[in-house]
Chains A and B, each alone.
Chain A
Amino acid sequence: MASQFELTRNITIGQYIPTGSIIHKLDACFKLLSFTIMLIAIAICGTYFGNIVILAFSIALFMLSRIPIRYGLSGIKPAIPFVVILAILQLLFYGSVASGGTVLVKSGFILITTDSLRLVVVSAMRFVEIILISSVLTLSTSTTELTHGMERLLKPLKYIKFPVHEFSLIITIAIRFVPTFAMEMEKLMKAQASRGAEFGTGQWWRIVKRTKDMFPLIIPLFNSAMERAEDLILAMEARCYTPGEVRSNYKRYHIKVTDIMVLLFSILFSILILFYPFPY
């Protein structure tokens, strides 16, 4: 019951753990770029061995960044029931989609082949890997660094009139407000519950009732969000923020040798994962 009200615990967005490791000192721009490359490699890689290597590598990344691994695991925990149920469903019904390989089980409509088994195992591992790697990125980089990095990464888009700075400001605002709203939501839930509201207790097939149960939460949430927006608009206008102007940065970034080495390493690693002929 108590866990129903703890929203902030599940939110890893905006958390930052300063340990001063090598990974923390990397340029956010290069970190993001390497992360994207790794993400593509993970999304494509479909072999057992390749995924084991990536999994080991993502755990190694945690060690290297000196962040306790439980922070990464806490992101996985709430998703476990979903992953397990989905894996079972996929195992039972995906046999006809991924029908290659040898048939392992065939009874009635259930068809399990080596290919569908591979699909299930690999997609579960992929999920864990993506969570681990992305939590290394977000836990070792503050949101300001992250959005600055993204802004510099997207800079070439300025030539096609894409508002890079404004876009990264929007994302900064969005990420900044997620934990605030989560806390607000917690307060709202407690306030409504203490007045006798019930949410999520109706039977799951009564769609309309379960939806209506959420109204006392969602509408105040939107309203208080708009109030905060109004305050922020006022504050920004009072400080004469002008969209589309040339702006200078408080922090200047210089590309270091380690940054380039990390980028090269992630490219090499991805190529290795994708093209090395793993036996399984």
Chain B
Amino acid sequence: MEKGLTIRRIVVAGVLSAIAILLGVTRLGYIPVPTPAGNATIMHVPAIIGGIMEGPIVGLIIGLIFGASSFLEATVPLFKDPLVAILPRLFIGVVAFFIYFGLKRFNEYVAIGVAGFIGSLTNTVLVLFMAVVRGYMAPKVAIGVAITNGIPEAIVSIIVTLAIVASWKKIGVSVKQKSKISGKF
């Protein structure tokens, strides 16, 4: 695996960040659930996918841009705090990458699914942890949210991640369009 930012990584990070921003801005990424956190979200899925497909740096950057956009777009005081909105999001893609990388040799699809699950839980747990640390939420409430909100979110994330990454790895776009220099499949 090449080190640093290649053209492929730059472009994929940019495009997936655009999706993360779009899902946030248009509220398509929110699935309204009556919890103290407000919404279940699939906005963190681009970060997971980026982490799985192009490595930890891309996952980190998408997480950063997703965090920054959720910070700027936030209507809740909880997410107007950069320590809650941005910092936990950095780890989503990185964790997803390491899970995928570790499990890849056993079974590709299981690895993708587990990476999606754990990546999503990373988001939930770290955000709620920061919310408790910064005093926005009582620990009991946070645990409640983690169960009622985090688990469905994680399950949704498995399905979406698997569907997208699998279809991308297997089929790709028409093969002739892929770059000969950096296309690796």
Least distance between B96 CB and chain A CB atoms (Å): 15
**Most chain B C-beta atoms within 10 Å of own C-beta, residue among A172, A217, A218:** A218
B75 pairs with A170, CB closer than 8 A:
no
**Most chain A C-beta atoms within 10 Å of own C-beta, residue among B19, B160, B182:** B19
Cα A208 to Cα B159 in complex, Å, equals 11
Within 8 A of B (CB), among A168-208: 169-178, 180-182, 185, 204-205, 207-208
B15 pairs with A229, CB closer than 8 A:
yes
From A204, A221, A223, A233, contact of B167 by CB (8 A):
A223
**Which A residues are in CB contact (< 8 Å) with B118?**
none
Cα A246 to Cα B102 in complex, Å, equals 36
Does A145 touch B at the CB level, under 8 Å?
no
**Most chain B C-beta atoms within 10 Å of own C-beta, residue among A172, A180, A230:** A230
**Which A residues are in CB contact (< 8 Å) with B42?**
211, 214, 218
- By beta carbon, the residue of chain B nearest A7 is B26
Cα A167 to Cα B173 in complex, Å, equals 26
Does A134 touch B at the CB level, under 8 Å?
yes
Cα A7 to Cα B19 in complex, Å, equals 13
Within 8 A of B (CB), among A34-84: 43, 78-79, 82-83
Cα A229 to Cα B11 in complex, Å, equals 6
Number of B residues contacting the other chain (C-beta, 8 Å)?
A: 51
Does B177 touch A at the CB level, under 8 Å?
yes
Listed stretches B30-38, B86-94, B123-131; interface member:
B30-38
Least distance between A226 CB and chain B CB atoms (Å): 6
Does B76 touch A at the CB level, under 8 Å?
yes
**Which B residues are in CB contact (< 8 Å) with A10?**
25-26
Cα A95 to Cα B146 in complex, Å, equals 25
Which secondary structure dominates where chain A touches chain B? helix
Does A86 touch B at the CB level, under 8 Å?
yes
A243 pairs with B179, CB closer than 8 A:
no
Cα A223 to Cα B152 in complex, Å, equals 24
Cα A218 to Cα B19 in complex, Å, equals 10
B75 pairs with A219, CB closer than 8 A:
no
**Which A residues are in CB contact (< 8 Å) with B33?**
207
Does B10 touch A at the CB level, under 8 Å?
yes
Cα A156 to Cα B64 in complex, Å, equals 19
From A175, A205, A233, contact of B182 by CB (8 A):
A233
Does B110 touch A at the CB level, under 8 Å?
no
B31 pairs with A211, CB closer than 8 A:
yes
Does B13 touch A at the CB level, under 8 Å?
yes
B18 pairs with A178, CB closer than 8 A:
yes
B17 pairs with A182, CB closer than 8 A:
no
A173 pairs with B11, CB closer than 8 A:
yes
**Which B residues are in CB contact (< 8 Å) with A230?**
172-173, 177-179, 183
B75 pairs with A127, CB closer than 8 A:
yes
B22 pairs with A210, CB closer than 8 A:
no
List 19 interface pairs A-B (beta carbons < 8 Å), by A numbering.
Answer: A13-B25, A78-B27, A130-B72, A173-B10, A173-B17, A178-B18, A178-B22, A182-B22, A218-B42, A223-B167, A225-B18, A225-B19, A226-B15, A226-B173, A229-B11, A233-B7, A233-B11, A234-B177, A243-B4
Residues of B within 8 A of A (CB): 4-8, 10-19, 21-22, 25-28, 31-34, 40, 42, 49, 61, 65, 72, 75-77, 80, 152, 156, 159-160, 163-164, 167-168, 172-173, 177-179, 181-183
